[in-house]
Structure 1
């Protein structure tokens, strides 16, 4: 689960973002904490987030706990930022690929 607030200009360049990720950790800790941590670490994906706050919440539920698997946590964080990029593009009526390219990490300082 993800909630976010994002600030961006008319071109689609991100200027500030807050992401709150919630992980369904099940009834016991297992590796759920690490999975949520990895989701947070990967939530920038390929994009420069200059002014970012990323919070991870570990939610105890009545389901089976989560354990590690190949790439655990990474995809969850990447899906979150990709949805944000799509939302920015939709709100501006721009091509999502152009918004993504504008926000890639680069060699120059911002």
Structure 2
């Protein structure tokens, strides 16, 4: 029997980014396409600047956020294209490791 396919690094980063409840909550601050700096997110979330910066970095690596630099300021916003790509990758991975079947009990 062959070993199941492993998710690629992009998908692993995406899943890691979503694995944290804190990062899930941080994503809500970007609803509506709003752009925020690290300090703005930290203030809204009630987190320290360095903690927030680390979370935003993980979200960016996971494809959920993009950043742009304006002088010393770095602004973050949601990455709709990256999210769509990662969700498609997740769907492909799940189909390859646990394809839909005719079974009625919804197990793999």
Q: TM-score, normalised by structure 1?
A: 0.29
Q: Rg larger in 1 or in 2? A: 2
Greater share of residues in strand:
1
